[in-house]
């Protein structure tokens, strides 16, 4: 009866939008392991991080005590241009699957960056502007983060220098054009514009690039140019903090309609969306107020949580960033170039890694053809063409819903639909043509990559 009244899309009012981000680390009894200086293996200090990041973002990065951090007014205004994002009841998908499960998705794709990445991009650009910087540098893989940052920098009139993983740069020429329209400077990575890029090109002339490598280039540019800092779209604590806006809105929307989720699912590359979505709910679990099943869905070709090792590793191929303790495949792991499904980072957010280690967060992986199958089905019944990244969560939700069909359980499933696939049509074309191949690394490949983890004391 109550369900009868649930609309297809739940939109919050503007005054119901969060006024503070939620910092899950404050509620974690066992905190994520600290970032370490790569040279000394000492915990990274604010001063050290401030050479790479804006000061205030470095503070957020290390803040494990404040549960709430106020969202500055300027950022809240920007959020209002494209948020609140809808929490959608997937009536048509439920019907198609014939499941008694109730499926909801938090849709973050209704903005020009096409994804949730804008939530953190605008925050990071704001703090850069506030600090009086000239500009910021970053890397981008699928291009969602680069686009988001371009939009944010354009809004605050900051220079924006983007290193784009070469394979994406070539597969997604129109992504670059969007970034240019927003005034960004886009360079395919690895490039000859940095020392680390030159080294990598020398060692691997035919490389299609990797996020880890693009990060190294962006960091090098930032630390070697006055008035620049580096910003990152995932993995970091600060990013998960900003992305908590997704989970907070979801929580408010569910409460508004008296809906209690059983399972919360997100795709996971570096963990920004999943971390943001589950943060407030994981907080409830950690405080003993509720119980939810959390599932991270990752690609079988880049399975950091499901097949990686929980250890200190470099965040970038160039080994110039702080060390982070995370589930990792090794910082020089690169998924095969036929991988079109995004989520290609070698490691996982330290917060999510710790939650996984504590048994609070489950993880599964799927091959890309089954992910694209789920994407196509979803597009046809729900009308939204999803990003390949987001489609991992769709696949995960469908699997859970089909289990409910078997057992007859009326579980409530919430998943994060991070974005749209309008710039991923090269991948869809391959899928439509039956040319999409699956890649799953062998145990030997992973062992080889993991053998190069930094030696810790």
Dist. CA 232–CA 238, nearest whole Å: 9
List of residues 6+ apart from 424 with CB closer than 8 A: 142, 172, 340, 342, 387, 388
Nearer to a copy of itself, 34 or 183 (CB): 183
Q: Could you say whether residue 112 binds a copy of itself (CB under 8 A)?
A: yes
From candidates 26, 92, 360, 450, binder to a copy of itself by CB under 8 A? 92
Nearer to a copy of itself, 38 or 72 (CB): 72
Nearer to a copy of itself, 22 or 78 (CB): 78
Q: Could you say whether residue 193 binds a copy of itself (CB under 8 A)?
A: no
Nearer to a copy of itself, 51 or 181 (CB): 181
Which helix or strand (DSSP H or E) is residue 166 part of? helix 166-171
The β-bridge relationship of strands 20-22 and 68-70 is antiparallel
Q: Could you say whether residue 382 binds a copy of itself (CB under 8 A)?
A: yes
Whether omega for the bond prior to residue 270 falls within 30 degrees of 0, making it cis, is no
Q: Could you say whether residue 369 binds a copy of itself (CB under 8 A)?
A: no
The β-bridge relationship of strands 263-267 and 293-299 is parallel
Q: Could you say whether residue 171 binds a copy of itself (CB under 8 A)?
A: no
From candidates 23, 60, 99, 111, binder to a copy of itself by CB under 8 A? 111
From candidates 338, 422, 439, 453, binder to a copy of itself by CB under 8 A? 422
Q: Could you say whether residue 3 binds a copy of itself (CB under 8 A)?
A: no
Q: Could you say whether residue 170 binds a copy of itself (CB under 8 A)?
A: no
Dist. CA 368–CA 349, nearest whole Å: 22
State the number of CA atoms in the 13 A half-sphere of 340 facing the CB. 27
Q: How many residues bind a copy of itself (CB under 8 A)?
A: 42
Nearer to a copy of itself, 295 or 385 (CB): 385
DSSP string of 200-245, one letter each residue = HHHH-TT----HHHHHHHHHHHHHTSTTEEE--SSSSHHHHHHHHH
From candidates 413, 423, 441, 449, binder to a copy of itself by CB under 8 A? 423
Dist. CA 301–CA 437, nearest whole Å: 11
List of residues 6+ apart from 423 with CB closer than 8 A: 114, 142, 143, 172, 174, 175, 178
Q: Could you say whether residue 255 binds a copy of itself (CB under 8 A)?
A: no
Q: Could you say whether residue 63 binds a copy of itself (CB under 8 A)?
A: no
From candidates 34, 72, 183, 337, binder to a copy of itself by CB under 8 A? 183
Dist. CA 437–CA 449, nearest whole Å: 22
Closest distance of CB 300 from a copy of itself, Å: 22
Dist. CA 325–CA 287, nearest whole Å: 24
Point out which residues bind a copy of itself (CB under 8 A): 7-9, 11, 13-14, 78, 80-82, 92, 110-112, 114, 151, 154-155, 173-174, 177-178, 180-183, 376, 379-385, 420, 422-423, 425-426, 428-429, 432
């Amino acid at each position: 009866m109550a369900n009868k009244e649930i609309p297809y899309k739940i939109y919050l009012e503007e005054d119901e939008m969060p006024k503070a981000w939620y910092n899950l680390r404050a509620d974690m009894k066992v905190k994520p392991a600290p970032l370490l200086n790569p040279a000394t293996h000492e915990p990274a200090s604010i001063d050290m991080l401030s050479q790479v990041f804006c000061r205030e973002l470095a503070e957020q990065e290390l803040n494990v005590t404040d549960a709430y951090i106020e969202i500055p007014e300027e950022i809240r205004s920007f959020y209002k241009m494209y948020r609140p994002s809808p929490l959608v009841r997937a009536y048509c998908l439920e019907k198609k699957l014939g499941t008694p499960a109730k499926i909801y998705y938090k849709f973050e794709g209704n903005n020009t960056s096409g994804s949730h990445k804008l939530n953190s991009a605008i925050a990071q650009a704001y703090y850069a502007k506030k600090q009086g910087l000239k500009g910021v540098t970053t890397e981008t893989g699928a291009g969602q983060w680069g686009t988001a940052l371009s939009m944010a920098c354009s809004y605050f009139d900051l220079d924006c220098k983007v290193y784009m993983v070469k394979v994406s740069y070539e597969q997604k020429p129109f992504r670059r054009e969007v970034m240019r329209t927003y005034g960004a400077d886009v360079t395919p990575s690895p490039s000859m514009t940095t020392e680390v890029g030159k080294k990598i090109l020398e060692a691997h002339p035919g490389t299609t690039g990797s996020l880890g490598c693009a990060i190294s280039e962006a960091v090098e540019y930032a630390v070697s140019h006055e008035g620049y800092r580096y910003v990152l779209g995932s993995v970091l604590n600060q990013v998960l903090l900003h992305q908590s806006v997704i989970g907070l809105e979801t929580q408010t929307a569910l409460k508004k309609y008296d809906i209690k989720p059983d399972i919360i699912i997100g795709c996971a590359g570096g963990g920004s969306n999943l971390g943001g979505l589950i943060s407030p709910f994981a907080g409830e679990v950690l405080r003993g107020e509720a119980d939810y099943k959390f599932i991270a869905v990752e690609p079988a070709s880049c399975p950091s949580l499901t097949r990686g090792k929980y250890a200190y590793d470099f965040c970038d191929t160039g080994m110039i960033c702080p060390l982070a303790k995370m589930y990792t495949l090794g910082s020089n792991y690169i998924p095969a170039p036929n991988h079109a499904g995004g989520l290609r980072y070698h490691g996982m957010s330290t917060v999510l890694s710790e939650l996984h280690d504590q048994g609070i967060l489950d993880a599964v992986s799927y091959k890309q053809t089954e992910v694209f199958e789920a994407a196509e089905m979803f597009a046809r019944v729900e009308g939204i063409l999803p990003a390949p990244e987001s489609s991992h969560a769709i696949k995960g939700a469908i699997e859970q819903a089909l289990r409910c069909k078997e057992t007859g359980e009326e579980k409530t499933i919430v998943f994060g639909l991070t974005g749209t696939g309008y710039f991923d049509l090269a991948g869809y074309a391959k899928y439509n043509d039956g040319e999409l191949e699956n890649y799953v690394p062998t145990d030997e490949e992973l062992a080889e990559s993991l053998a190069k983890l930094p030696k810790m004391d």
